[in-house]
Structure 1
Amino acid sequence: MEGDNSHVEMKLSSEADEEVGGNGVGDHLNHNSSRKPYVAQKLGRTPKNLCFMGATIFLIFIIGYLIGYLVHRNKDTVATSAASVLPLEKTVVHETGAAPLMDWDDVKKLLAEKLKATNFDSTFREFSHADHRAGSSGDESLGNRVLAKFKEGGMKTWTDEHFVKVQDPPASGNRIVFKNKEYRPGGFLSYSATGTVTGAVVFAHYGREVDLTMLSDMNINLKDRVVLVKTGRISFAEKVANAAKKNAAAVLIYSESNEEIPSLFGHVHMGSGDPYTPGFPSFNHTQFPPVESSGLPRILAQTISKRTAVEILGQLNGQVIPESWVNIGRLGDNRDNITVEVNNVLTEKKITNVFGVIQGFVDADRYMVIGAQRDAWGPGFAASTVGTSVLVELARGILNMVKNDGFKPRRSIVFASWSAGEYGSIGATEWLEGYLSSLNMKAFSYVNLDGIITGSSGFKVASSPLLQSLIGKTIKEVSDTNKGVSVFSQIKTENWESNVLESLTVDNSAYPFLAFSGIPSVSFRFTSDKSEYPFFGTTLDTQQNLNHVTSNKVTQLAQVAAQFAGQIVLRLVHDHLLQMDLGKYDRLIRTKVAQINLRVKKLQNLQPPLLPKDLTVKWLISASGSFSRASRSLANDILNSNLEDIEMCRLINDRIMTVERNFLSPYVSPRESPFRHILHGSGAHTVQNLIDHLEALGSRNPKADVDLFRNQFALATWTVQGCANSLAGNIWSLDNEV
Structure 2
Amino acid sequence: MDQARSTISKIFNGEPRSYTRFNLTQNMEGDNSQVELKLSSDMDEEVGGNGVAEHANHQSHQSYISKPHQRAPRNVCFMIAAILLIFVIGYLIGYLAHRKAEVASPGCASAVSTNGDDEIIIQTETVSTLDWSDITGLFKSKLTKDSIEKSLSEFSSDSHQAGSPGDEALGNKVLKRFKDYGMNSWTDEHFVKVQNSPLSGANRVTFRNKTYAESGFLSYSALGSAQGAILYAYYGEMDDLRRLEDLNVNAAGRVLLVRAGKISFAEKVANAASVNASAVLIYLDPADYTLDRDTDLFGHVHLGCGDPYTPGFPSFNHTQFPPVKSSGLPSIPAQTIRASTAATIMGKMGGRDPPRGWADGGLQMYKLGGEDDVASVEVNNVLIEKKIHNVFGVIKGFIDADRYVVIGAQRDAWGPGYAKSTVGTSLLVELARTFTEMINKDGFKPRRSIVFASWSAGEYGAVGATEWLEGYLNSLNMKAFSYISLDGTVRGVASPMMYDLIQSTLKEVNDLNKNIYSQVAGSSWEMAVMDPIRMADSAYPFQTFSGIPSVTFRLTSDKEYPFLGTHLDTKMNLENKIFRIGPLVKTAGEIAGQMALRLVHDHLLRLNVEKYSNIIRAQVAQINKEVYSLQMSNRIPKTLKMQWLMSAMGSYSRASRKLTMLIQNSDLQDSEQCRIINDRIMGVEKDLLSPYVSPRESPFRHILLGSGSHTVGALLSHLAAIKEGSASADIDLLKNQFALTTWTIQSCANALAGNVWEMDNQI
Secondary structure of 1:398's aligned partner: helix
- Aligned counterparts of 1:423 and 1:273: Cα–Cα separation in 2: 8
Question: 1:361-387 CA deviation, whole Å, 9 max, x = no partner?
Answer: 110000010100000011111110000
**Aligned match of 1:638 in 660, 663, 668?**
663
Match of 2:312 in 1: 279
**Do the aligned partners of 1:269 and 1:295 also contact (CA within 8 Å) in 2?**
yes
Q: Which amino acid aligns with 2:565?
A: G
Match of 2:368 in 1: 331
Task: Report the CA distance between 1:567 and its aligned residue.
Answer: 0.9
- Aligned counterparts of 2:353 and 2:530: Cα–Cα separation in 1: 36
Match of 2:592 in 1: 565
**1:474 pairs with 2:523:** no
**Do the aligned partners of 1:279 and 1:433 also contact (CA within 8 Å) in 2?**
yes
Question: 1:429-481 CA deviation, whole Å, 9 max, x = no partner?
Answer: 0000000000000000001111104xxxxxx5311111111111111111xx2
Gapped regions of structure 1 (runs ≥ 5):
1-53, 77-90, 454-459
- Aligned counterparts of 2:291 and 2:513: Cα–Cα separation in 1: 30
- Aligned counterparts of 1:232 and 1:527: Cα–Cα separation in 2: 17
- Aligned counterparts of 2:620 and 2:129: Cα–Cα separation in 1: 41
**Do the aligned partners of 1:196 and 1:340 also contact (CA within 8 Å) in 2?**
yes
Spell out the pairing of 1:211-230 with structure 2 (5 A cutoff).
Answer: 211-230=240-259
Distance 1:485 1:109, change over 3 A: farther
**1:449 pairs with 2:491:** no
Match of 1:315 in 2: 348
Q: Which amino acid aligns with 2:183?
A: M
Task: Report the CA distance between 1:93 and its aligned residue.
Answer: 9.4
Task: Report the CA distance between 1:598 and its aligned residue.
Answer: 1.6
Q: Which amino acid aligns with 1:465?
A: P
**Do the aligned partners of 1:98 and 1:645 also contact (CA within 8 Å) in 2?**
no
**Do the aligned partners of 1:101 and 1:574 also contact (CA within 8 Å) in 2?**
no
**Do the aligned partners of 1:386 and 1:558 also contact (CA within 8 Å) in 2?**
yes
Distance 1:61 1:401, change over 3 A: same
**Do the aligned partners of 2:128 and 2:443 also contact (CA within 8 Å) in 1?**
no
Match of 1:135 in 2: 163
Distance 1:318 1:115, change over 3 A: same
Question: 1:292-313 CA deviation, whole Å, 9 max, x = no partner?
Answer: 0000000000111111110001
**Aligned match of 2:611 in 577, 584, 598?**
584
Match of 2:531 in 1: 502
**Do the aligned partners of 1:186 and 1:262 also contact (CA within 8 Å) in 2?**
no
Secondary structure of 2:610's aligned partner: helix
Q: Which amino acid aligns with 1:323?
A: R
Q: Which amino acid aligns with 1:191?
A: Y
**1:303 pairs with 2:336:** yes
- Aligned counterparts of 1:93 and 1:567: Cα–Cα separation in 2: 21
Task: Report the CA distance between 1:727 and its aligned residue.
Answer: 0.6
- Aligned counterparts of 1:63 and 1:719: Cα–Cα separation in 2: 74
**Aligned match of 1:512 in 511, 536, 541?**
541
**Do the aligned partners of 1:411 and 1:574 also contact (CA within 8 Å) in 2?**
yes
Secondary structure of 1:289's aligned partner: coil
- Aligned counterparts of 1:378 and 1:496: Cα–Cα separation in 2: 34
Match of 1:202 in 2: 231
**1:428 pairs with 2:465:** yes
Secondary structure of 2:214's aligned partner: coil
Spell out the pairing of 1:356-371 with structure 2 (5 A cutoff).
Answer: 356-371=393-408
- Aligned counterparts of 2:82 and 2:663: Cα–Cα separation in 1: 60
Task: Report the CA distance between 1:329 and its aligned residue.
Answer: 2.5
Q: Which amino acid aligns with 2:627?
A: V
Question: 1:713-738 CA deviation, whole Å, 9 max, x = no partner?
Answer: 10110001100110111111111321
**1:462 pairs with 2:493:** yes
- Aligned counterparts of 2:422 and 2:301: Cα–Cα separation in 1: 23
Task: Report the CA distance between 1:96 and its aligned residue.
Answer: 2.3
**Do the aligned partners of 2:484 and 2:551 also contact (CA within 8 Å) in 1?**
yes
**Do the aligned partners of 1:368 and 1:414 also contact (CA within 8 Å) in 2?**
yes
**1:682 pairs with 2:707:** yes
Query: Which piece of structure 1 moves more, 647-656 or 94-103?
Result: 94-103
Task: Report the CA distance between 1:541 and its aligned residue.
Answer: 1.0
Task: Report the CA distance between 1:540 and its aligned residue.
Answer: 1.2
- Aligned counterparts of 2:434 and 2:514: Cα–Cα separation in 1: 22
- Aligned counterparts of 1:116 and 1:67: Cα–Cα separation in 2: 67
Task: Report the CA distance between 1:331 and its aligned residue.
Answer: 1.3
Query: Which piece of structure 1 moves more, 531-540 or 285-294?
Result: 531-540
Task: Report the CA distance between 1:180 and its aligned residue.
Answer: 1.1
- Aligned counterparts of 2:506 and 2:748: Cα–Cα separation in 1: 30
Task: Report the CA distance between 1:55 and its aligned residue.
Answer: 10
**Do the aligned partners of 2:512 and 2:587 also contact (CA within 8 Å) in 1?**
no
Secondary structure of 1:323's aligned partner: coil
Q: Which amino acid aligns with 1:644?
A: Q
- Aligned counterparts of 1:216 and 1:332: Cα–Cα separation in 2: 15
Spell out the pairing of 1:117-136 with structure 2 (5 A cutoff).
Answer: 117-136=145-164
- Aligned counterparts of 1:188 and 1:232: Cα–Cα separation in 2: 16
Task: Report the CA distance between 1:488 and its aligned residue.
Answer: 3.0
Match of 1:156 in 2: 184
Question: 1:58-107 CA deviation, whole Å, 9 max, x = no partner?
Answer: 8995899599979x99xx9xxxxxxxxxxxxxx99987236236321222
Secondary structure of 2:387's aligned partner: strand
Match of 2:735 in 1: 710
**1:112 pairs with 2:140:** yes
**1:659 pairs with 2:684:** yes
- Aligned counterparts of 2:72 and 2:230: Cα–Cα separation in 1: 121
Q: Which amino acid aligns with 1:576?
A: H
- Aligned counterparts of 1:438 and 1:525: Cα–Cα separation in 2: 30
Task: Report the CA distance between 1:698 and its aligned residue.
Answer: 1.4
Match of 1:232 in 2: 261
Secondary structure of 1:97's aligned partner: strand
Secondary structure of 2:568's aligned partner: coil
Task: Report the CA distance between 1:57 and its aligned residue.
Answer: 4.5
Spell out the pairing of 1:345-384 with structure 2 (5 A cutoff).
Answer: 345-384=382-421
**Do the aligned partners of 2:186 and 2:391 also contact (CA within 8 Å) in 1?**
yes
Q: Which amino acid aligns with 2:759?
A: L
Query: Which piece of structure 1 moves more, 484-493 or 280-289?
Result: 484-493
Task: Report the CA distance between 1:527 and its aligned residue.
Answer: 2.7
**Do the aligned partners of 2:399 and 2:447 also contact (CA within 8 Å) in 1?**
yes
**Do the aligned partners of 1:381 and 1:541 also contact (CA within 8 Å) in 2?**
yes
Match of 1:258 in 2: 290
Q: Which amino acid aligns with 1:185?
A: E
- Aligned counterparts of 2:434 and 2:609: Cα–Cα separation in 1: 31
RMSD of aligned Cα (Å): 2.4
Distance 1:476 1:180, change over 3 A: same
**Aligned match of 1:602 in 621, 629, 632?**
629
Task: Report the CA distance between 1:710 and its aligned residue.
Answer: 0.1
**Do the aligned partners of 1:98 and 1:644 also contact (CA within 8 Å) in 2?**
no
Question: 1:127-168 CA deviation, whole Å, 9 max, x = no partner?
Answer: 011110000111000000001111111010111111100001
Secondary structure of 2:459's aligned partner: coil
Secondary structure of 2:124's aligned partner: coil
Secondary structure of 2:569's aligned partner: coil
Q: Which amino acid aligns with 1:270?
A: L
- Aligned counterparts of 1:533 and 1:488: Cα–Cα separation in 2: 20
Larger of the two Rg values belongs to structure: 1
Task: Report the CA distance between 1:203 and its aligned residue.
Answer: 1.1
Task: Report the CA distance between 1:511 and its aligned residue.
Answer: 0.4
Spell out the pairing of 1:615-630 with structure 2 (5 A cutoff).
Answer: 615-630=640-655
- Aligned counterparts of 1:55 and 1:532: Cα–Cα separation in 2: 104
**Do the aligned partners of 1:670 and 1:676 also contact (CA within 8 Å) in 2?**
yes
Secondary structure of 1:150's aligned partner: helix
Task: Report the CA distance between 1:498 and its aligned residue.
Answer: 2.2
- Aligned counterparts of 1:59 and 1:316: Cα–Cα separation in 2: 121
Secondary structure of 1:184's aligned partner: strand
- Aligned counterparts of 1:68 and 1:259: Cα–Cα separation in 2: 94
- Aligned counterparts of 1:69 and 1:242: Cα–Cα separation in 2: 91
Match of 2:102 in 1: none
Match of 1:39 in 2: none
Q: Which amino acid aligns with 1:711?
A: N
Q: Which amino acid aligns with 2:204?
A: R
- Aligned counterparts of 2:640 and 2:395: Cα–Cα separation in 1: 53
Match of 1:724 in 2: 749
Percent identity (aligned): 57
- Aligned counterparts of 2:471 and 2:529: Cα–Cα separation in 1: 34
